[in-house]
Structure 1
Amino acid sequence: MQRKKMHQRLKNLSVAPQTSSITEEQRKQLCALLGDVELSLLYKASVHGYQDSAFHQRCDHQGPTLLVAYNHSGYIFGGYTSVDYTQSGQYITDREAFLFRFQGKIPVCIKINSECSARYDDTGMPSFGEQLFFCYRNQPVVYHQGGDVFNYTARVNAFNFSPATLYGNDTNLRECEVYKVEQIPQISAKMTPWRNVLWTANRRAQLMGLIRNYKPLVTSVSRVRILMIGPVGAGKSSFFNSINSIFMGRITSKAMSGSAGTSLTTQFRTYPVKDGREGKPLPFVLCDTMGLEEQTGAGLDIEDISSILQGHVPDRYKFNPTSVFQPEEQKASRPASLKEKIHCVVYVIDATKISLMSDKLQEKIASVRRKVNSLGIAQIVLMTKVDEACPQVEENLQSLYLSSYIKSKVQEVSSRLGVPVSCVLPVKNYSQELELELNCDVLLLTALQQMLNFADDYLDDVCSMEDKPK
């Protein structure tokens, strides 16, 4: 099919170390070599290490993969193999394997010579044709075995290239990345969606009415408090801006949002939403936090989250990553009232970075979940940037629940975070739009309605029948 504008998942953001180093245009050109495919970043040497064990842990049994290397002279080059890495100790025949280099903006493909093995599937780092070795001896270098001397039967070199042309004879790598290559299934009108959604103006109006007329299950709580937690740049602040935009009837940007290597949110903020410019406050408050970061002493601290959950942290409190929140002595001596506590926790996860989530960050989220579980607070996962994760969804948001790729990402989030699949809600926040869009609104409002439902589940669980309205 004719490829539309590709998504922005792999922008070149040097300040965000776990994102891809190739630009959107370069990614588009690489996809053109492979057909209608999706690239998912599996391994990034600067993040996961140059050791062969780190490579195999993340890249074995992943199917077709594309390796992209970058040296200090600005050359971008690499190789593709359609056969799994398995550490089998066998020579791999792969007629689809190729090397490539960028010549300006265009990648030039160097196909494998016939009757040659594409690579040796050992326990080391990737190599192609016993000629080109990446991260050689667990170092940030590339090594070229010249000539036609091999330790297996071959008539000619597997790939015809010169090091000067391929990488400018600069063997020092500044980065090496490996991507999983997946064919994107074609979406047809005959396919059955894996979730049912009414993409209509009537459904949007119905959801807005349900939210406007919502009353918390407990009379002492006038507005439920929903806490947004997630990694830096996942879209917590953008979700508030998006919900606020829907009820204001125009695109708004009240909460600071954007792309950065560290959290743009440095304060604990509680954001009420009004029903229009002069309207009354709606019956919920979205609470925004500093982003989670994997490093110790960076981002939001687990103990700070505990204080927020229990209602001790005031609006606009400025977080200090090196020192946990200490409540005032008078407030610490009494428990917060139910209306001050958090009633629903929402984990905000970027759909384009799920596979790249580090073990440290995953464990940090798990620690948060254990704390939230101990308090019995309802939890939901908001999976953002679904349009950037799948080109077909970017082309038509209504294909979201027809996309097997998005479904696989929902299942991956469920597995990594230990939440039911039914609690993972894909959405698209407003980011570059100038006008509201029906499909975005339906997804966002559906997610918000589910948060209110979950908040009621929590209130129903913790409160006695006497405290409920008759």
Structure 2
Amino acid sequence: MLHLKVFTNNGQQSAVEKPWRDQKWNEEHMGVMRQSLETYKPNRSQNVRTANILLLGQIGAGKSSFFNTVNSIFRGKITSQACIGSFGHSVTLKFNPMVPFTYHTPGYIKNPALENKIHCVAFVIDGSTVDEMSDKILKQLKDLQITVNQRGLPQIVLLTKVDKICPDVNADVTKTFTSSAVCSAVEKVANIMGLPRARVFPVKNYENETGLVVGINILVLEAMKRCLDLADDFIEEQV
């Protein structure tokens, strides 16, 4: 990964000449990725029918919007189906608004089988507020991460609202990996969470768009693919 910062004369960060993360932006690549995720099946030998991905993040970070964005991609149109729930195609997205999960919580299973456990955790962080994150939120994230680490769960970060970090990305989401502002946000979040930068995925959720956008789809599909790769690894390790 190449990390560069370039400043214009007025002190503002601008684009870098070489992308700091390689990415294909064409429709063919998007189609291949979408097909791969549509046909995804977890490790059947462990009787696991779905990969369970837990989304963790503060209110307003973009958890439900991410769900709706994923749903839109596979439905082929902009949808706003649900604020909480699950997603088909052998993948389940579960939400947690940073509140304790106890035996009183609906759906609680005391001794879950592997198929009922969480297989990967995605921390959802608002990229536009990285520099303004309060000590309280930071502590909540780290406390949650301690619990996740204790359970040996793989984890990534979904860095949302990247269009609000950089005007160039707002105009064209394919500028994400040539934006030094987004690169800087990725690096900061990676340091906060103690994760490799390769585990931090900049994404943009559908908000004002009336139709699907290839670039937005690709960012989200890349993040989903990594989640499922990590979920597969976790499931296989439970043998």
Q: Taking structure 2 as the reference length, what is the TM-score of the superposition?
A: 0.91
Match of 1:203 among 26, 29, 42: 29
Highest Rg: 1 or 2? 1
How far apart, in 1, do the equivalents of 2:106 and 2:37 lie?
26
| TM-fit CA distance, 1:218 | 4.2
1:341 maps onto 2:117 in alignment: yes
| TM-fit CA distance, 1:36 | 8.3
How far apart, in 2, do the equivalents of 1:401 and 1:314 lie?
41
Aligned counterpart, 2:135: 359
Aligned counterpart, 2:85: 270
The number of equivalent residue pairs is 231
Say if 1:351 and 1:383, in contact at 8 Å, map to a contact too. yes
How far apart, in 2, do the equivalents of 1:36 and 1:428 lie?
29
Higher strand share: 1
Higher helix share: 2
1:244 maps onto 2:20 in alignment: no
Say if 1:218 and 1:459, in contact at 8 Å, map to a contact too. no
| TM-fit CA distance, 1:237 | 0.2
Mapping for residues 216-255 of structure 1, pairs under 5 Å: 216-219=42-45, 220-255=47-82
1:289 maps onto 2:96 in alignment: yes
Q: Which whole-Å deviations, capped at 9, do the CAs of 1:179-216 have from their partners, x for residues lacking one? A: xxx5122x37xx11111111011011100111112121
Which amino acid in structure 2 is aligned with residue 388 of structure 1?
A: K
- The 4+ residue runs of structure 1 with deviation greater than 6 A are none
Say if 1:362 and 1:417, in contact at 8 Å, map to a contact too. no
Which amino acid in structure 1 is aligned with residue 63 of structure 2?
A: K
Aligned counterpart, 1:406: 182
How far apart, in 2, do the equivalents of 1:439 and 1:387 lie?
12
How far apart, in 2, do the equivalents of 1:412 and 1:218 lie?
38
Q: Which whole-Å deviations, capped at 9, do the CAs of 1:99-136 have from their partners, x for residues lacking one? A: xxxxxxxxxxxxxxxxxxxxxxxxxxxxxxxxxxxxxx
Aligned counterpart, 2:152: 376
How far apart, in 2, do the equivalents of 1:198 and 1:313 lie?
42
The one of the two structures with greater contact order (alpha-carbon pairs below 8 A, sep at least 6) is 2
1:453 maps onto 2:215 in alignment: no
SS of residue in 2 equivalent to 1:183? coil
SS of residue in 2 equivalent to 1:242? helix
Q: Taking structure 1 as the reference length, what is the TM-score of the superposition?
A: 0.47
Gaps of 5+ in 2: 1-7
Which amino acid in structure 2 is aligned with residue 369 of structure 1?
A: Q
Which amino acid in structure 2 is aligned with residue 245 of structure 1?
A: S
How far apart, in 1, do the equivalents of 2:71 and 2:187 lie?
29
Aligned counterpart, 2:238: 462
Mapping for residues 153-192 of structure 1, pairs under 5 Å: 182-185=11-14, 187=15, 191-192=17-18
Instruction: Give aligned-pair identity as a percent.
Output: 35
How far apart, in 2, do the equivalents of 1:358 and 1:458 lie?
32
Aligned counterpart, 1:397: 173
